[in-house]
Each structure stands twice: as structure tokens, then as C-alpha cells.
A and B are shown apart, each in its own frame.
Chain A
Amino acid sequence: MAEVGVPARLELRGISKQFPGCLANDQVDLDLRPGEIHALLGENGAGKSTLVKIIYGVLKADSGHLRWNGEQTTITSPSQARKLGIAMVFQHFSLFESMTVAENVALGLDDNVRLDVLSDQVAEIGRRYGLTLEPERVIHDLSVGERQRVEIVRCLMQNPRLLIMDEPTSVLTPGEADTLFITLRRLADEGCTILYISHKLSEIRALCDRATVMRGGKVVATCDPAEETAYDLARLMIGADFSQASKTGSTQFGASRLKVRNLNMAATALHGTDIADLEFEVAAGEILGIAGVAGNGQNTLLAALSGEQLADDPATIEIEGQIAGQLGPRRRRRLGLAFVPEERLGHGAVPEMSLIDNALLTGYDRQGLLSRGSIMFSRTKDYAERIVKSFQVVAGGIDANAGSLSGGNLQKFIIGRELLQQPKVLVVAHPTWGVDAGAAAAIHTALLELAEQGTAILVVSQDLDELLQISDRIAVLTAGRLSDCMVTADADVTQIGLLMGAHVADDLAEPDGEQRASQT
């Protein structure tokens, strides 16, 4: 903990950064003491990532100044930051997939170290902090948790005085997160300052000594998180009282609308996960949640359901009682399927195209927007207009490009586009990922209303809290296998956590298939 008279490890004063159309940091002040674990808390878009990129020298501030151990400094590059003793673990890992662990570590160092010497150092650090790694393995063969270990070891090689961690647990199972916390506490005890970025309130309250809360590019509070309730922290973060929609607990569902039976599919992506023997049903009015850490076969399952990848056996997927396993996306939509993919820009929407064109993208058949191969523009505009109105999408008109919308508004547009097609079955991936709390609440409400009207909804999400809140039943996808479905009301969160982490425990690993190799 901080001692009197010792200068702050890092002191920021009046940092501002302007991006086109958005003031990302507005006169930000921040003090980090030696050996403290300091949370930087805020919603997506609050300016946390911009601020740490400035500290790490990836971005340059427009104004403001910075003191490092009491001395005024300018950080112009990551390499300079590393020389000062600042290290960073990125949210989207900055790892090189087809290179080995040792090579990845070497790339984070400024000196030329021989790879065999490096391997020994990696092993040594691994022993000290409980971060075991095999230096010769290639990154794409590692699990997400192992990849994060590589990132952390890469940072620790430089013996940092400040370690920045950007949303480190968003990709980890609860068990892996606990292991990470032990490592972080040990580092802090040795005097390393840790700047911990997150929007997960519970872990911040458990781990961090102090917290700085950001909203809209500004610092709104600095506090001791252990002394605040999660509700108070959330209110500081969001800036208003908020209410959350949740499932009313109806258990009366209609007929089965989506049936999946014995579904096997190989991943098409280079390092994707295959799925095997998947079996579930979703009934009219029901929301089924598929939980699991990313990279456990979610992408393969989603492609199998949307029709982007066809099943070998047509009977494995039924939509509205029709055999659909070998129908393409267009014909599945005609049967009543609607689909919201994980990636908004670049999958769910074309960034360079207008909202009108993006409405046409999936609405062309079910909204009757075509006439003998020609586009009926007035009907298409009308449809786009209705989406924007019904879901309060903030955009510069329906002529605006999809790429110009904020993440939350684009997500509302995409979900609105699918919902207005009055689907019989809706498959939605990560509905509120990276979306601000207001938009998330609106999206949850819309999904619950849709279910009440009799649509069968499948939600794939990494956010367990979200699934517990809106789904009727939950199943966990791990290493391409699906657990039994549990009724949410009776579900045991610890049990779900264990299922999510099953692939790291050898005794629970699936025995067959070389594809599982990626999990061992």
C-alpha cells in the first residue's frame, strides 16, 4: 500500500484526446500508487481503453501531462513505455497465431535474446508466478487462458513497475480468473502497480484496492470499491438509476420450433473448434441460453444454425418441423428463422452501406422488398425507417452508413431488422456485447417481448449474468460439446462455472478426435 512521502508511480493530469466525432478523454486525472491494484471502471466507450493506450504510448494525447515516479515524462512509443517499466496485456491479445510461445515473448522484448535462453527465462517466471507454459508450442494450439498467460509472461519478462490489464477476465472461465487473481496479488505484493480495467463489478470489489470510475471520457469518481455496493458502482458508471428487464418465469411453452439432433460439424476457420453430438430443442415462447467461453465451438454452432455452413445430414436441424440441415440461409429465413451474428460490422452489417441497404440485406424475402429481380426502393426505405423508429436507433437518417453508428445503435438496428421480420425462430449471438447499459436493457426487453409473442429464441452469450437474467433454460458449450439443459431458476452457478471450465481439467476432457488437441 502507499506510503506517505513516496511519489505516485504514475500521475496523469488533464489528459484529453479527441477522435473524429468523439472526445474520448476529457481532462482526465489519475494517480497510481506503488504496489496497489487500481481498477479503471467504466462502460464500453467511457474512454478507458483510450487512456491506457495513451499511458502505453500507442496513442498520443492532445493535451495534458504525465509524471512517472515523480518525474515529468513524455511517452511516445510502447518501446519507451517498456523502458520505463510499463507493461500491458491487451484485451484482444496482441499475439501472433502461427508463431511459438518463445517467439511471441521475444517480440515483446526490446533486446535481442536468443530463443533458447529465453525459453529458460519463460520457465523460470512460470514457476515463480504459477504460469506454466511450453515455449515451443504454437499459439493457435493454446486455449484462451494459456494465451493470456503468454501475454502476462511477456510482460513480466521486463520486470514491470506498472502492469496494465485490459478486461483480462472477459475471456476466462471463473476458475481461470481466480488463478489470475492470485498471480496479480503476488505481483502487487512485490511492489508492482496494477491498473485493472474492467466493467465487472464483483471482481473489482474482490480484487482492487482503489477504483477510478470513468463515464463519457471523464473521471467521475475515485473510491475504495470494497466500501461501495455493486449497485452504487454501477450507478456511478452509468450515471443514472437503471432497471433491468428479466424473465417473468412463465413455464408454459408452445410446440418445439427449433430442433437440433445429433449435430456434428467441422470448423471451417483455420483454428476453429468442431462441434459434436449437439442436441437441443427450443419451444415457442422459450429462451434457451448457450453459455461458454469463446472459442468452444460457438462460431461453428452459429454457422450451422444460420445455414452459412450446411450439415452433412439434413435431418439434424429442423425449423418449424421442416428438415433444414441442408438449406442455405435464404431458405431457412423463408421458414421463419432470423439471425443476429456476433460481429456487428462485417457480418451483421456492411459498414460502407447505408441503413437502407443494410435493411435489405436480410429483409429482402420476408419483407417482400423485391419484384422480379429488382429492388423496390420505396418499400425498402419504409422498412429501414420502421426499424429506426421502433428501436430508437440514433443515426444520421436512414442514408447514414452502418459504419457511422455507435456499437449500441448498430446492434439495436440489427436486432430490430430481425425482429420486424416476425421470426418464428430467432438465433442471436452475444446480443449486448460491447453495448452500453441503456441499449442493453432495451435489447433485453425486446427479446423478452418477442418470446412472449411465441418466438423460440436461442441466445449464445459469454455473459453468464445476461443468460441467467433472460433465459428459461441454460446449457453450456465446452470444447464443442453441449451439456444438458438446466432450468435457469434451478441452475447452480458454481456448476455452470465448472462446466465452462471443463476443458482445462483433464478428467472432463472429451476423449475422441484430434480437434480436441486444441484444448489440451
Chain B
Amino acid sequence: MVIVRLATPLRKFSGGKPEIKAEGSTVREIIDNIEAKSPGFADKILDDSDIKQFINIFHNNEDIRFQKGIDTEIKPDDVLSILPAVSGG
């Protein structure tokens, strides 16, 4: 199972929990599996199968855009963080 950390605005899909466990071997599969249990989740994250403008997804602390985007392969016990892009500076 993969640990998925969620930004505060996404916690309505996790019953208020800051992190949940999900199954899947790619970022896309993990999002689809969370969507199956919590409809509306994927719409918040993806836009035409790509990550939305104001969302960043990190795989083991690295931006997945430096890996294979939503097709990045994920191993059990890896950590995904889904965070807002607009902070810092």
C-alpha cells in the first residue's frame, strides 16, 4: 500500500485525515483507486489526464514532473504528496 498525503482542501475525500493508504502501481492508478472510493477526487487533481495547473504531486519528495508525470511507477511503501502549487517565494 502506498501512503498518500493530502493537502487540507483534499481532506474531504479522506474523512478529514491528512494521509490515507491506497493501492496502485502508477500515480494514475492510485488516483483512479481513490476516485473509486471517493468520487470527485480525480476531477480535483487531473485535467484532461494531466495534473491541474495549481497542483503539485511529489513521489518520495520529488516532483513527478521530473519523473514520468502521472505514469510514474510507484512501489509499495512509497509516499505520494498532493499539494497546492501556490506557496513560497
Partners in one complex: no
> B residues engaging A (CB < 8 A)?
none
> A residues engaging B (CB < 8 A)?
none
